Amino acid sequence: MSAAPQSAPTPMMAQYIEIKAANPDCLLFYRMGDFYELFFDDAEEASRALGITLTKRGKHLGEDIPMCGVPIHAADDYLQKLIALGHRIAVCEQLEDPAEARKRGSKSVVRRDVVRLVTPGTITEEALLQPGRGNHLAALTRLGGKGRNAEFALAWTDLSTGTFLLSATTAERMEADLAAIEPSEVIVADPLYRDEAFAPLFRRLGRRARPEPQPLFDAATAASRIAAFFEVGALDGFGDFSRAELSAAAALIAYLGKTQLAARPALRRPERRLAGETMEIDPATRASLELQRSVHGGRKGSLLSVIDRTRSGVGGRLLASRLSSPLTDPRAIGERQASVSHFVEAAGLREEIRRRLGAVPDIERALSRLALDRGGPRDLLAIRAGLEGAAEIAGILGADLPAELAGCTDALRALPGELTETLRMMLGEEAPLLKRDGGFVREGAIRELDEARTLREDARRFVAELQGRLVEETGIRALKIKHNNVLGFFVEMNETHGKALMAGEGSHQFIHRQTLASAMRFTTRELAELQERIVNSGEDALRIELRVFDELSAAAVRQAEALQAASSALGAIDVAASLAELAVSQDWSRPRVDDSLAFRIDGGRHPVVEAALAEAQGHSFVANDCDLSPPGRQADAGAIWLVTGPNMGGKSTFLRQNALIAILAQIGAYVPARSAHIGVVDRLFSRVGASDELAEGRSTFMVEMVETAAILNQSGERALVVLDEIGRGTATYDGLSIAFAAVEHLHEVNRCRSLFATHFHEMTALSDRLERLSNVTMRVKEWRGDVVFLHEVGPGAADRSYGIQVAKLAGLPKSVVMRAKAVLAELERHDQRDSRGMFLDDLPLFSAAVRRAEEAETRAEPDPVAELLRGIDPDRLTPREALDALYALKSALAER
Ligand SMILES: Nc1ncnc2c1ncn2[C@@H]1O[C@H](COP(=O)(O)OP(=O)(O)OP(=O)(O)O)[C@@H](O)[C@H]1O
């Protein structure tokens, strides 16, 4: 097939194609004037994703070129949408003034190039970030090949704040570690990404995981690459890092280089997190406990949403990150608790500090933007206000503080006073978003600038005066001096006047510029001169302001370390004060956390359920005790509580609340309990409620068994295991046997503290054989065949599940409920003698039985509520009897 002769692409299109070819996996935002334009497939993709109109521009290879565009001022919104959909965007800017290009000849194109790749993990724009949420980019590396010697490490950063952390990890722990970091993007060396053994992990990470070439992770050059980034000779002063950690860190820096190009982010020095420093919590446990997100995916209904009283973005982010990584060192936990206690005891101080914190801007994010040359004058104002606020807060906190807070005030006091002074001297009270709009440098700060501004103002005044003079001279009262972007200043009058003027003397003075339908426009020599003066002095003023901006920005970036330390300090103060506020307002208590194996909670509550009940103004939350401490003097391992009780009795709530209390205690917070004593938990497993891994192609039961296997294989004596209804998804006897064996294993092999809820009442017999196992049950009251949930945990075993009563409450058809009751009665009668269920044959068939029951009902049954009411004589009731009567009425109503 012979190709038709094609015209060569235009120079601009040729430039576009070249740049696009260098960025094939990104949507290319190609700057043209006040728009970013997208072409070809990118345009089609973006117009679909953003719902914007697809147009055409010229032809390429004989075909129309699809095009769509987004205006610069709204680009952030569009970027946000595209990023959320998993796209990466290459932002291509004009690198010179179009006038420059024209000087090279009429055909030459404006120089353009990509200045930045926008990826989910490298966003810094305020509009694209949430104040209280970090945005992490992680790098995962493996050294030493696939074998047993493989060494894994993670590095992660929040580019918007400069945080930079490293940690060793293992194949087993990797997923839990990533879950704690919650990265928006994870770069992985290509061979590891393709390793079959990790395929499930990367599948679960989905688009967040991104393979990158192995050389980025090269361990041999890692240390020197990191040193070069931080502009130091060697890394010795940074601490001790493993080769794998260095490889991950170097890869992260290289990736930032790839995406940020010329801009150098204000990263902090890398800090190492030791694997054992934090409580290990796998993703399923996080989901089940709804730590940061509820099962519905949103923040509402999560633990974080209930405990977050922080007043600043940095505080919100720190609280979220602490919640995702509780500590395991009692001393470090104690330090944080001491800060909270300080604010619990000093109510006035707490209020004052919180009030001030609310007014301190987000210094570290402003700084990051300035470092990446994406900042504006408001970021400088934010830093100034931050510096001033920090100094005030340090002053108010005073001396005689617990260690953590003392460290914080040191960081605040170490802030460079000169920077505050310079910013105060140079900046006005308000500033535009963009530096190119000018007007942010304070009057009186720079003489040249004041002069330029005065010149401009004078010229403007002269323009106003000139209008009066021209009116007088010409006698044309309707003459006006106006301004637009094309002509600049001009004299405008109607056509009759204009023509008369041109025909007469005026033609010497007035130079014709434009004739419109209703008006004529002129300039005069004087006006043109004034115009030039205004433009020139305006340009001078802006040039000076931009220079000042760059100087101030550089001065702030030079102080990055001090500013970041102060920002972290403000975050820590905010977290302590907010947890204190929470403790006081919700009546929480300071837990004792130590190295023992104790786990004793008195009067524990579930903070989220309690808040929900309070909001609904229904019944109030019933506090419950839990004690999994090694029972008796001899015991050297934690206890197991086997929790039985009716459906809806509060088992899941009880199980979860104890796990949550452990987490809260270990982030250094107070806990929702009268008192608590917790020996640190190093690993938490919670399987309560349904799992959402079904998308992986495993059945519910399979998922449950895989998770149970992980728990039984991995829990050590410091673990806390919270299991709900293991074995429910299979035949009764299989399920019961598995649950039985699992509890025995927990008791004999894992020897960890556990809560195990079950509907298999047969299991309560285990307490005779397993010395550290106790039975507890959720208490209920029965009333005329219905059940009243007391939500109280007490010793003993439930004898039944009340499943049918709950089913009735849920609105199961009456016929089904009645039939189920009959089946249950029959099952219970036969249970002793025949375990295979053959007796079901004894039961009448469903339809017959239901019909009979219904007939009986319609025949006789009077209204039970009315009947009860008739029998009550209010004058003769004691208060206790009145209450009982109320219960009776309610249940009779339910039965009706
Ligand atoms: N301690 C409590 N105080 C007050 N209300 C509670 C308490 N515990 C639970 N509830 C209420 O009871 C409801 C059911 O609790 P939960 O889901 O824990 O029951 P469950 O025993 O696990 O039920 P199932 O066995 O059917 O899963 C909760 O949504 C809550 O409204």
- pLDDT tens for 284-295 read 899 889 999 888
Helix (H) or strand (E) holding 687: strand 683-687
3-state SS track over 179-216: HHHCCCEEEEEHHHHHCHHHHHHHHHHHHHEEEECHHH
Q: Which residue's alpha carbon is at the smallest distance from atom 25 of ligand 1?
A: 647
DSSP state of 761: G
- Residue 266: name the closest of 125, 158, 129 by CA: 158
CA separation for the pair 542, 317 (Å, rounded)? 37
435 burial (CB, 10 Å; 0-12 / 13-18 / 19+) is buried
Ligand 1 atom with least separation from CA of 653: 18
Q: Which residue's alpha carbon is at the smallest distance from atom 14 of ligand 1?
A: 648
Choose which residue among 288, 608, 652 to substitute to test ligand 1 binding: the one with the highest number of ligand atoms within 8 A of its C-beta.
652
CATH fold match for the domains 449-545 and 588-806: no
- pLDDT tens for 370-409 read 998 888 999 999 999 999 999 999 999 988 999 999 999 9
CA separation for the pair 16, 40 (Å, rounded)? 11
Q: Does domain 449-545 have CATH number 1.10.1420.10?
A: yes
The β-bridge partners of 789 are 780
Q: Is 98 helix (H, G, I), strand (E, B) or coil?
A: helix
Q: pLDDT band at 152, cuts 50/70/90?
A: very high
Pair 513, 490: CB distance under 8 Å: yes
Ligand 1 atom with least separation from CA of 649: 21
Q: Which residue's alpha carbon is at the smallest distance from atom 15 of ligand 1?
A: 650
The β-bridge partners of 515 are 520
Alpha-carbon 805 to chain mean position:
41
CA separation for the pair 743, 768 (Å, rounded)? 13
List the strands of the sheet with 185-189, edge to edge.
209-212, 185-189, 136-143, 151-158, 163-169, 271-273
> Ligand 1 centroid to 2 CA: how many Å?
75
> Ligand 1 centroid to 595 CA: how many Å?
32
- pLDDT tens for 404-432 read 999 999 999 999 999 999 999 999 998 88
CA separation for the pair 500, 122 (Å, rounded)? 64
Examine the pLDDT at 346 and tell me if it is beyond 90.
yes
CA separation for the pair 410, 401 (Å, rounded)? 11
**What size, in residues, is the chain?**
896
Out of 3.40.50.1820, 3.30.1370.160, 3.40.1170.10, 3.40.50.1980, the CATH code matching 11-118 is 3.40.1170.10
CA separation for the pair 233, 706 (Å, rounded)? 49
**Average pLDDT score over residue span 531-553:** 91
pTM: 0.82
Ligand 1 atom with least separation from CA of 792: 1
CA separation for the pair 399, 47 (Å, rounded)? 59
> Ligand 1 centroid to 709 CA: how many Å?
27
Binding-site residues from annotation for ATP: 645-652
Helix (H) or strand (E) holding 795: strand 786-795
Angle (deg, nearest 10), helices 814-831 and 846-859 = 120
Q: Which residue's alpha carbon is at the smallest distance from atom 10 of ligand 1?
A: 650
- pLDDT tens for 826-860 read 877 776 544 444 444 445 455 555 556 555 555 55
CA separation for the pair 326, 397 (Å, rounded)? 26
What's the CATH architecture for 127-275?
Answer: 2-Layer Sandwich (3.30)
Ligand 1 atom with least separation from CA of 605: 1
Q: pLDDT band at 1, cuts 50/70/90?
A: very low
> Ligand 1 centroid to 690 CA: how many Å?
15
Binding-site residues from annotation: 645-652
3-state SS track over 294-308: CCCCCCCCCHHHHHC
> Ligand 1 centroid to 668 CA: how many Å?
27
CA separation for the pair 772, 748 (Å, rounded)? 10
What's the CATH architecture for 308-416+559-584?
Answer: Orthogonal Bundle (1.10)
Residues with CB under 6 A from ligand 1: 609, 621-622, 624, 645, 647-653, 791
Ligand 1 atom with least separation from CA of 806: 26
Ligand 1 atom with least separation from CA of 624: 1
pLDDT at residue 647, rounded to an integer? 79
> Ligand 1 centroid to 375 CA: how many Å?
50
The pair of three-digit structure tokens given for residue 317, joined into one six-digit string: 């982010």
Pair 212, 188: CB distance under 8 Å: yes
Task: Tally Cβ neighbours within 10 Å of residue 537.
Answer: 20
Choose which residue among 648, 660, 805 to substitute to test ligand 1 binding: the one with the highest number of ligand atoms within 8 A of its C-beta.
648
Q: Name the percent of the chain lying above pLDDT 90.
A: 51
- Average pLDDT taken over every residue of the chain: 88
pLDDT at residue 387, rounded to an integer? 95
> Ligand 1 centroid to 621 CA: how many Å?
10
pLDDT at residue 4, rounded to an integer? 44
pLDDT at residue 835, rounded to an integer? 45
> Ligand 1 centroid to 609 CA: how many Å?
9
**Average pLDDT score over residue span 724-728:** 80
Task: Tally Cβ neighbours within 10 Å of residue 165.
Answer: 20
Ligand 1 atom with least separation from CA of 725: 25
- Which residues, including other chains, have CB under 8 Å from residue 689's CB and lie 6 or more apart? 288, 295, 652, 724
- Residue 123: name the closest of 84, 151, 152 by CA: 84
Q: Which residue's alpha carbon is at the smallest distance from atom 4 of ligand 1?
A: 621
- pLDDT tens for 154-195 read 999 999 899 999 999 999 889 989 999 999 999 999 999 999
Q: What separation in angstroms does the CA of 18 have from each of 34, 76, 94, 128?
A: 22, 25, 15, 29
- For the chain, the distance separating the N- and C-terminal CA atoms, rounded to the nearest angstrom, is 83
> Ligand 1 centroid to 881 CA: how many Å?
27
Angle (deg, nearest 10), helices 222-229 and 243-260 = 50
- Which residues, including other chains, have CB under 8 Å from residue 504's CB and lie 6 or more apart? none
Choose which residue among 605, 621, 626, 653 to substitute to test ligand 1 binding: the one with the highest number of ligand atoms within 8 A of its C-beta.
653
> Ligand 1 centroid to 151 CA: how many Å?
44
732 vs 676, more confident? 676
pLDDT at residue 693, rounded to an integer? 46
Question: What residue segments make up the domains of the chain, in order of their start?
Answer: 11-118, 127-275, 308-416+559-584, 449-545, 588-806, 812-860, 861-896
> Ligand 1 centroid to 791 CA: how many Å?
7
Q: Give ipTM to 2 decimals.
A: 0.97
- pLDDT tens for 729-785 read 677 778 888 888 899 999 999 999 999 998 888 888 888 889 999 999 998 887 776
- pLDDT tens for 243-260 read 999 999 999 999 999 998
Ligand 1 atom with least separation from CA of 613: 31
pLDDT at residue 421, rounded to an integer? 95
Q: What separation in angstroms does the CA of 219 have from each of 146, 149, 802?
A: 16, 15, 62
The pair of three-digit structure tokens given for residue 356, joined into one six-digit string: 């001030």
CA separation for the pair 889, 894 (Å, rounded)? 9
Q: pLDDT band at 3, cuts 50/70/90?
A: very low
Q: Name the percent of the chain lying above pLDDT 70.
A: 93
Alpha-carbon 871 to chain mean position:
59
CA separation for the pair 281, 278 (Å, rounded)? 9
Class of domain 588-806: alpha beta
The string of DSSP codes covering 804-820 is HHHHHHTT--HHHHHHH
Q: pLDDT band at 455, cuts 50/70/90?
A: confident
CA separation for the pair 506, 502 (Å, rounded)? 6
pLDDT at residue 371, rounded to an integer? 92
Q: Which residue's alpha carbon is at the smallest distance from atom 26 of ligand 1?
A: 647
Choose which residue among 295, 606, 609 to substitute to test ligand 1 binding: the one with the highest number of ligand atoms within 8 A of its C-beta.
609
Ligand 1 atom with least separation from CA of 655: 18
Q: What separation in angstroms does the CA of 419 have from each of 423, 720, 777?
A: 6, 50, 63
Task: Tally Cβ neighbours within 10 Å of residue 334.
Answer: 19
